[in-house]
Structure 1
Amino acid sequence: MSDQPFLKAIGPAALRRRASGAPFALPLVAAAVAVVVCCPLVFVAMQAGQSGWASVRQLLGRPLVTTLLWHTVELTVTVTAATLVIGFCAAFLTQRTDIPGRRVFTVLLAMPLAVPEFVHGYCWVSLFPSVQGFWGAVLVMTTSLYPLVFLPAAATLRRGDAATEEVARSLGHGRWHILWRVTLPQTRPALAGGALLVSLYLLGEYGAFAMVRYTTFATAIYTQFETSFDTVSASVLALVLIVLAVLVIGAEAGAGRRRGRVVREGAATRPADPLRLGRWTAPAVVGLAALVGTTLGVPVYALGYWLAKGNSSTLPSASIWSATATTAGYALVSAAIATAAAVPVALLAWRHPGHLSVGIVRLAYLTRALPGIAVALAVVFFAIRYATPWYQQPPMLVAGYVVLFFPLALTAVRASLAQVPHGVEDVARSLGRRRLVVLGRVTLPLIAPGLAASFAMVALTASTELTATLLLHPTGTDTLATRFWSYTTGLAYGAAAPYAAMMTALSVPAVVLLTRRTLGPARLSKEEA
């Protein structure tokens, strides 16, 4: 049933009055969350400021910094462009054509998310040692990250309305013209959001680049922290990453202003009939099969190969089950806290769009560009000074995970809120319900799929986090990622395989849930009904 009659009964003036009466608590809570999440930015600025402007200029003037900047920007642009092309093409074939096995392909194309980026690098390098340098990094990161574009693009195409394409077809436009001028613009918000996540991942990634021996700002920062303990120089380099992240977020915001509205709110939509591929069916199937084989088949084969070959190592053995339980516990707690923290920030941006909410959201996204080692040291810095009892305790690692992956939770919750018709809360408020009651009985049930997607995404990512975990995990405890890294740094690929396989197995249910929540139940076309 449409909400329009209820909204008309209340009247636009009443809705405006209710919207203007924003409670003070929501901005206050959202701002508090943003302050906590942005603590690493404060730490980086404080450390960089200790050297003075002269030292900063001298450090940034080194030829190495120019090389790192070129490597980082070149890789980010190349991988982001590749993921956009692959993600959109795969989404279009599985959601808008009659290609056989669409549902199976949809699940398989999302599954590379279950394999961490550094495990992707381990699989490729252990099988093909020549996968090194720039093109090795492009291969590993593209095969790892394209699902971040594929999933939102597929969801948009699945839920899109066929009316605009039918109008274009009735005007005599061909398939390619409709694809370029109608279908692609409809997916632009999803593509922009996916590209933002991919770019921020690339700016802060360390483990995969260390595997393929490609230097970026993230690897240089880790080297400064790990080898020379030069927090000042590393923080200056981290400031450059923050500037790059600001540019990326600004570009995405500019695309958001240009793309306009693409959804007809309040109108019934129906799915488009699948496009008949005809003689292009076989090449399309081969293309998707090759993509699945490259992005999923290679990691599965590599893990199976090393599991079968053996697990010899000079390092002491450790219980994989203990590491699994530890990993799952940290991931689940972090996912619950990050999702809960994302709700007030997303609600503020949805209910009261303005300079305050936009600023809070963009600040939260900036932390995603920081490498895990910078976030970890910021947590250590604040724990030593303001929370000494938590030093080298589980809350430190949970705090690091929440700060690192809060942007992922915020993205999922905001996307879910965007699907809620405006005015629904005002309808409930007009019936005399308190704001917290409306939140619990109306808003949260409506965005439950987004909350589940947020929980799954953060749990998935936290269970495979490496860099921050190396510094923050409590003494005497290990996660799957830290044990895996201990073996791979000693080139004990066979010993590392069980931990990589267990990380992947833990991530599969989260990816399945994320795929189902993102795409929703399949809608039948007229031919399938």
Structure 2
Amino acid sequence: MTPLTAAAVLAAAVSAVPLVYLGIALAGLDAGQVAEVLLQPRTRQLLATTLLLAGTVTTASVLLGLATAYVLHAFDFPGRRVFAVLAGLPLAVPSYVAAYTWVALTPAVAGPAGAAMVLTLCCHPYVHLLAGSALRGLDPGLAEVARATGRRPLAVFCTVTVRQLRPALAAGGLLVATYVLADFGSVSILRVTTLTRAIAVSLENSFGRLVPVTLSLLLVVVSALVVTGELRSRGRARYARTGSGARRRAPRVRLAPLPAAAVVTGLGALAAAALGVPVVSLARWLAVGTSATFDPARLWDTATSTLLLASGGALLTVALALPIGVVAGRSSGRLARALEGASWLSHTVPGIVVALSLVYLTLRVAPAAYLTAPVLVLAYAVLFLPLAVGAVRTAVAQSPPALEEVARSLGRRPWQVLREVTLPLAAPGVLTAALLVFLSCVKELTATLVLHPTGTETLAMRLWSSTTSGQYAAAAPYAALIVVLAAVPAHLLQRERGAR
């Protein structure tokens, strides 16, 4: 086993901590009682609701994310740069905030259909960012050859471009599916009872572990099936260029006035729905609310704590994701798939279960670490490792392996090849991974409420405490700062993409 593979195994083991905790909890339960919970009609209803919601949101997010990424990459039209920045910003809006603002706008949105719409608006940027990063790494020569043979643009897009984007679309779709499976805040506000909501309610209202542990394991099984399906659908295809030639970008097509107007209208409507509704609501809370008073010093301390914790979470998560992403991007064998699959399973475990597993671990292994920042940062890494793995693997899969072979033939050691060849080629994916994880850490709520160090608050915690007590104007400054913190790395990433 190479050092890189060993590092990947260690990273996957770290992500499996919640699964070990669930296994220990299951061992203390009666098998007959577990089977009884699984066979209840209520459990079947919860499973059906969860699968329907996850399937609907995933399909819609893949289609919407692919469309926005391709339009912004391939065409030139008025306002393209502005829409390129706006396209990723919905990730900065917590799904529970988006759900409340929509319910406040029209209570009729509550229900399964409304939940699907709100979650799609919040989640489609996952696909957009990964697909956009992959589009910049494609060789335009393949599409040019296809057009030269007489194929129409739509046929070229479907048969050439989309096929090359399959790893990015699959990774983005998997991120969306696992996010929906583990979501609690928005489905609670929109009155949709999924497995995750049922688990949280059971933990809150009962002292027993039977129902929450059983439902958590059912959620892990569902996630395992989804991950396995994605890994098998990927096959053994390779997506890197094998020929010579310098990487170049295909020139953008300048749209005529009528198509450009249609594109601007569509992107504007999407931005209004995903960003406009939350932003307008926040502005109204700040302007007319009676609870809008806040302490600037406390706001600054909360923002600083959030920034430090999110930065630490992003750094640790990307560090753990690099070996898994490189191994999975360079190999389609069973070990590579198992390592990548293991990183995904904990992503669907509810945040409160991840937090309880780390409480269990720290109290038995390192009691002094209980309620400290490193444990919370580790929780972020466990929760959001798949976001980074998907982005890194996609970037590595697109980089030519022949360059690494040449470096090794020149006497470079494996760690030198990784540092001098693999990582520079995968840099766009690594930056995308850091952005996605940072955004998710800023918004994370459930595990933060359980594991945050004594005396430390995050923006998400203050936002949640204010909204649950009905002080929506008091929550507005914290929600606005979440958007600001998310907008800064998004803008820097956009500038880096343009430079490349």
TM-score (norm 2): 0.92
Q: 1:369-518 residue pairs with structure 2 within 5 A?
A: 369-516=348-495
Post-superposition shift, 1:85?
1.8
After the TM superposition, which residues 212-227 of structure 1 pair with which residues of structure 2 at under 5 Å, given as runs?
Answer: 212-227=190-205
Call closer, same or farther: CA 1:338–1:160 in 2, change over 3 Å.
closer
Deviation at 1:61, TM superposition (A): 1.5
User: Is the 2:223–2:345 contact (alpha carbons within 8 Å) kept by the matching residues of 1?
Assistant: yes
Matches of 1:352 and 1:272, distance apart in 2 = 29
Are the structure 2 counterparts of residues 181 and 421 from structure 1 closer, same or farther at C-alpha, using a change threshold of 3 Å?
closer
Contact 2:89 2:483 in 1 (8 A): no
Measured in 2, the distance between the counterparts of 1:156 and 1:394 equals 34
Once residues 514 and 481 of structure 1 are traced to their aligned partners in structure 2, the CA distance between those partners, rounded to angstroms, is: 23
- Show the counterpart of 1:51: 29
Map of 1:19 onto structure 2: none
Going from structure 1 to structure 2, the CA distance change for 1:226 and 1:460 (only over 3 Å counts) comes to same
CA distance in 2, matches of 1:374, 1:462: 17
| 1:193 is aligned to 2:171 | yes
The letter for the 2-side match of 1:357 is: A
What is the alpha-carbon distance in structure 2 between the residues aligned to residue 470 and residue 322 of structure 1?
Answer: 17
Shift of 1:266: 3.0
* Structure 1 residue 286, shift from structure 2 partner: 1.2
Pairs within 5 Å for 1:225-240: 225-240=203-218
Cα 1:232–1:362, aligned 2, differ >3 Å: closer, same or farther?
same
Bigger shift: residues 415-424 or 75-84:
415-424
Question: Any conservation in 2 of the 1:460–1:511 contact (CA below 8 Å)?
Answer: no
CA RMSD, Structure 1 to Structure 2 (Å): 2.6
Say which SS state the counterpart of residue 109 (structure 2) adopts.
Answer: coil
The CA deviation at 1:171 is 4.0
The amino acid that maps onto 1:342 is A
Deviations 1:134-193 (A, max 9, x none): 122112101101111122223344443444444444444434333333333333332222
For 1:85, the equivalent position in structure 2 comes to 63
Distance 2:430 2:261 in 1: 39
Q: Aligned letter for 2:215?
A: L
Amino acid at match of 2:242: E
Bigger mean CA offset, 449-458 vs 472-481 = 449-458
**SS of the counterpart of 2:87?**
helix
Q: Secondary structure at the match of 2:443?
A: coil
The verdict on how the C-alpha distance between 1:30 and 1:189 changes in structure 2, with shifts beyond 3 A counting, is: closer
Report how far residue 465 of structure 1 moved. 0.2
For the structure 1 residues 98 and 376, does the alpha-carbon distance in structure 2 shift closer, same or farther, using more than 3 Å as the test? same
What is the number of residues matched between the two proteins?
A: 498
In the alignment, does 2:132 pair up with 1:154?
yes
Partner deviation per Cα, 1:12-34 (whole Å, 9 max, x = no partner)? xxxxxxxxxx53x3333322221
Deviation of 1:498 (Å): 1.3
Find the partner of 1:135 among 92, 110, 113. Answer: 113
* 8 Å CA contact 1:123, 1:298 repeated in 2: yes
Counterpart check, 1:363 vs 2:377: no
Cα deviation 1:294-352 (Å, max 9, x = unaligned): 11111211111111123528999992222111111111112111111222223333455
Amino acid at match of 1:379: L
Matched, 1:179 2:157: yes
Give the whole-Å Cα distance in 2 for the aligned partners of 1:482 and 1:216: 23
Contact 1:313 1:487 in 2 (8 A): no
The answer to whether the 8 Å contact 1:376/1:400 transfers is yes
Q: What is the correspondence of 1:313-392 to structure 2 with a 5 Å cutoff?
A: 319-350=298-329, 353-392=332-371
Distance 1:380 1:203 in 2: 23
Q: Secondary structure at the match of 1:365?
A: helix
Establish whether residue 282 from structure 1 lines up as the match of residue 239 from structure 2: no
Q: Which region of structure 1 is more displaced relative to structure 2, 312-321 or 362-371?
A: 312-321
The answer to whether the 8 A contact 1:311-1:493 is kept is no
Give the number of the structure whose alpha-carbon radius of gyration is greater.
Answer: 1
Letter in 1 for 2:22: V
How many Å separate the matches in 2 of 1:233 and 1:314? 42
Pair 1:249 & 2:238 matched:
no
- Whole-angstrom CA distance in 2 between matches of 1:27 and 1:158: 28
What is the CA–CA distance in structure 2 between the aligned matches of 1:129 and 1:443, rounded to whole Å? 51
**What's 2:242 paired with?**
265
CA contact (8 A) 2:240 2:401 kept: no
Q: One-letter code of the match for 2:269?
A: A
Structure 1 residues 520 and 198, CA, compared in 2 at 3 Å: closer, same or farther?
Answer: farther
Q: Is the 8 A contact 2:329 2:394 kept in 1?
A: no
Q: Counterpart of 2:470 in 1: which secondary structure?
A: coil
Task: Report if aligned partners of 1:45, 1:235 keep a CA contact under 8 Å in 2.
Answer: no
> Take 2:260 and 2:6, find their aligned partners in 1: how far apart are those partners?
55
Q: Distance in 1 between matches of 2:348 and 2:290?
A: 35
Q: How many angstroms apart in 2 are the aligned matches of 1:49 and 1:415?
A: 38
User: 1:470 corresponds to which letter in structure 2?
Assistant: L
**Cα pair distance change 1:412/1:202, threshold 3 Å:** same
- 1:273 is displaced (CA, Å) by 4.8
Alignment counterpart, residue 35 of structure 1, candidates 13, 33, 52:
13
Q: How far did 1:448 drift?
A: 3.6
**Runs of 5+ consecutive residues of structure 1 not aligned to the other structure:** 1-21, 523-529
8 Å contact from structure 1 (residues 160, 272) kept in 2: no
Q: 1:57 to 1:214 in 2, by over 3 A?
A: same
Amino acid at match of 2:87: L
CA distance in 2 between counterparts of 1:256 and 1:406 reads: 20
2:99 maps to what in 1?
121
Measure, in 2, the Cα distance between the counterparts of 1:284 and 1:235: 47
Change (3 A) 1:391 1:362: same
The residue matched to 1:463 in structure 2 has which SS? helix
Give the Cα separation in 2 of the matches to 1:228 and 1:253: 37
Q: Where in structure 2 are there 5+ consecutive unaligned residues?
A: none
Report the secondary structure of 1:146's partner residue: helix
Compare 239-248 and 169-178 and name the one that shifted more: 169-178
Q: Answer yes or no: is the 8 Å Cα contact 1:168–1:178 preserved in 2.
A: yes
Shift of 1:212: 1.5
Q: 1:130 is paired with a residue of what secondary structure?
A: helix
CA contact (8 A) 1:107 1:512 kept: yes
- The equivalent residue for 1:309 is 288
TM-score between the two structures when normalised by the length of structure 1 = 0.87
Contact 1:93 1:99 in 2 (8 A): no
Distance in 1 (alpha carbons) for counterparts of 2:141 and 2:416 = 38
Question: In the TM superposition, what whole-angstrom CA distance separates every residue of 1:248-267 from its partner, at most 9, and x where no partner exists?
Answer: 11221232118x34553334
Counterpart Cα distance in 2 of 1:162 and 1:349: 25
